[in-house]
Chains A and B, each alone.
Chain A
Amino acid sequence: MLNDTEKFKLGLLILRSIEGEITQEEFDVLNRLIIDSEASRRYYCKYISAYSALQRTDISYYAGDDDKHIDYVFNADFWQAMADYEKSATEVRLAPSREPSQSVVVEKVDYGNAKYIHFNRRSFYSLIAAAAAILFLIVFARFAPPRSGIEVAVLSDSLNAKWGDANASMPPGRRLTTGSHYYYLREGYAKIGLDNNTWITLEGPAEFQFLTGDAMTLSFGKLYAIVPPEAYGFRVSTPSANIIDLGTEFGVQQDLYGNIDLHVIKGKTSLVSRIDSARLNAFVEAGSARRVDGSTGQVNEVAINERLFVRHIDSATRSVWNGQPLDLADIVGGGNGFGTGRLDRGIDVSSGRAIRSLVVTDVFAGEKGYRDVPSSPYIDGVFVPGIGPGATRMSTTGVQADFPETSGRLWGYIFNGAWHQGSDDVPRHFLQLDGMTIDGTQTAAVTIHSNMGITFDLAAIRETLGGVKIHAFASTFGVSETVDNWLGQRNFSDLEPGDDVQKLAASRQASVEFWVFLDGKKTLRRTISSASKAGHVDIPIDDDVRFLTLAVTEADDTVMFDWALFARPQLVLKAAD
């Protein structure tokens, strides 16, 4: 009979053998084990038959409905043995290692100039009581004494989380209870699912307590709540006020001095004063925010900040989502859509390789065919549209679409940024749309010269988003107005006088066609010139759409001066229902 450690080691050998990654030395060990140990032989056969069955199973279909997760079947000794084994096991690298990822940048809590000091609870509430009364509108506060020890929520996920001493063991999956004890998140992030289907994301330092299944307190810290219709009336109590949900998403920030920020992203909340001497209440609606000064009680309307609160975390992908859209230009630059990509970096359409500068400085002939992009899991591939008769392939799975036949000639590469790379007669410069210079930093952009296309793999992107859904694709697009600076004086006598050249010479405006496809289905085709205003697109994306394709073709006036770009190409996201 094999123990867990032996099974683990044998399992790794078997898996690597199946995948074709096993070394000769390792295989010889496997062969020996199979001969010498009946237990190993039986385990090997079981493992292979389970592997074969997994290949033919529709895993998505079997969504979990059982609270008893089998992932925790192993005892503490096993995990210690694994930790010891993993320290000594040979590392296998298929590619150069990458730097440990950093979490997506999140705005830090600004608690003012004061340093954080951990008060004891009694003196803290005395301080609040001694401060000026805080005034709000509408009375709804009802306070039911909580029944202690009732499980009402589960810690769904955490990222870089450190908890107070009393809560030292807080693994995901831990059930949270009502009662007089407080949960103290010293730092990091925690995502909690209440049994009433409300989701709470907390950013430490934060202290909170559950009163009932639909009421909690926030002593201090930052909290973002997504409350479904069935949890209408969900309440967050702070030392100074109660916030009651009326069908919303909202963020609450309570600092140590009694100041409260409430930002309502969706729906409506009410604020209820907890100070009897001034019973004020207010409805706060979506798109608005209130700040209550803890020392004066003054209530001010403030500008809503939709990025102030962390709305979703995913420890598997180390992502922290503040409601920001996913930036496709960042993905073209080799990133994950949240700022890890690089400017200037892009994809060579001829090879599918990631590059950082021009490979060829002149116009050149593209080749038919679809190139996958191994350097990015989020980019399915690139292609040259409209070469020769027949449909153009636009995905690794064979999705195709029709384009008008083009010259198949290209210039440059698809890259993160918006500038002309520079050539013999045109200096390097930032591109412009509608009078605005696009520098790639303040305004993200993907530059796609005519006769190039790129397909993004939305399924791969969704895997990294965890519980955040792709809602839509939005972008501005156009041909840079800077074309006019050089096209006006261009002498075309050195070119063969074809119709397309004549048209360009006559109009002195460069035209291109912009295309957007979802799973090969055309959702946008627009001709825009360097003299026309930029276009805007906002296309809903269903959950089952896998591929988003952007392409630019030359229209009917050559590829010259086709300095086309998508500015702020974004995937609009929202938290899953």
Chain B
Amino acid sequence: MVFDIQIRELTNTMPHDESSKLMTQEFLRLLTKSQNAIFSYILILVPGKCNAEDIYQDTVSTLWEKFESYQPNTHFEVWACVIAKYKVLQHIRKNLNSRMHFTSEALELLDSTSSEFIEHFDDRTEALRRCIKKLTPHNRRVLKMRYENGWTVKKIAAVFEQTAQGVYKQLNRIHMALMTCIEGTVHH
């Protein structure tokens, strides 16, 4: 997963004197706790998982560079998402030729809507895990192929001898079922 590789690479470049070590440990602790929420925020603003991963890597490097300016005991992910948003806008400016990015109006609306989901990301993740158990074995298998094994939609389509569109529809149905379950679990 991109997150684990990122953390390993960062760790290799960090200084090893005592106070730096403490700062490093604190940074890694905060990052590990928030990385999913930060990535989720970026993916909300930027279409395409590959673009989001690139921006995420860039964001983490900047977070480390600027960590001294982070106020302890404040919300790390809120601070991190401010930097992430800046990186998103930078990415959009660099790729203005591509029209595959949200308009400013859409970006602002998404930014404000996303905060509720980022704040409760851990609760929703816990609910997701309980909901996965309720899937049929077949649908769990499809999810495993896609998200755990990292198979492309094309490869899954080849295995089940379906079209890619068929696999997308299947994945979408599974997502919908999970989200309905998550909402029920979280509100309960």
Residues of A near any B CB (own CB < 8 A) = 4, 7-8, 11-12, 15-22, 24, 27, 30-31, 34-35, 38, 41-42, 44-60, 62-66, 68-71, 73, 86, 89, 91-95, 97-98, 100-101, 173, 316-318, 377, 459-460, 463-464
Q: How far is the CB of A499 from chain B (nearest CB, A)?
A: 46
Within 8 Å CB of B43, what residues of A?
A: 18, 48, 51-52
Within 8 Å CB of A51, what residues of B?
A: 43, 175
Q: A22-B47, A459-B149 are in contact. Are A46 and B179 (CB under 8 A)?
A: yes
- Of the candidates A53, A62, A91, A98, the one whose C-beta lies within 8 Å of that of B165 is A91
Q: How far is the CA of A63 from the CA of B1 in the complex (A)?
A: 22
Known: A56-B125, A95-B164. 7 other contacts (CB 8 A): A12-B168, A45-B114, A49-B117, A55-B1, A56-B3, A59-B144, A317-B159
- CB-defined A-B contacts under 8 Å, sample of 22: A7-B176, A15-B168, A19-B168, A20-B50, A49-B44, A50-B178, A51-B175, A52-B39, A53-B36, A53-B40, A55-B1, A59-B147, A62-B129, A62-B132, A62-B140, A64-B133, A64-B134, A92-B168, A94-B157, A100-B161, A317-B161, A318-B161
Residue B18 at the chain A interface, CB threshold 8 Å:
no
Say yes or no: B159 contacts A50, CB within 8 Å.
no
Say yes or no: B110 contacts A70, CB within 8 Å.
no
Say yes or no: A31 contacts B165, CB within 8 Å.
no
Main secondary structure of the interface of B (DSSP, over half): helix
Say yes or no: B163 contacts A97, CB within 8 Å.
yes
Within 8 Å CB of B48, what residues of A?
A: 17-20
Q: How far is the CA of A54 from the CA of B132 in the complex (A)?
A: 9
Q: How far is the CB of A563 from chain B (nearest CB, A)?
A: 32
Within 8 Å CB of A317, what residues of B?
A: 159-161
Main secondary structure of the interface of A (DSSP, over half): helix
| B94-110 Cβ-contact flags toward A at 8 Å (1 or 0) | 00000110110110011
Within 8 Å CB of B183, what residues of A?
A: 46
Q: A42-B113, A49-B117, A51-B43 are in contact. Are A65 and B176 (CB under 8 A)?
A: no
Q: How far is the CA of A17 from the CA of B137 in the complex (A)?
A: 27
- Of the candidates B49, B124, B130, B151, the one whose C-beta lies within 8 Å of that of A50 is B124
Residues of B near any A CB (own CB < 8 A) = 1, 3, 36, 39-40, 43-44, 47-50, 99-100, 102-103, 105-106, 109-110, 113-114, 116-118, 121, 124-125, 128-141, 143-145, 147-149, 151, 153-155, 157-161, 163-165, 168-169, 171-183
Say yes or no: B163 contacts A92, CB within 8 Å.
yes
Within 8 Å CB of A16, what residues of B?
A: 168
Say yes or no: A52 contacts B153, CB within 8 Å.
no
Residue from the set B1, B157, B164 with the largest chain A CB neighbour count within 10 Å: B164
Residue from the set A4, A21, A38, A377 with the largest chain B CB neighbour count within 10 Å: A377
- Of the candidates A35, A57, A64, A316, the one whose C-beta lies within 8 Å of that of B147 is A57
- Of the candidates A20, A48, A95, A377, the one whose C-beta lies within 8 Å of that of B40 is A48
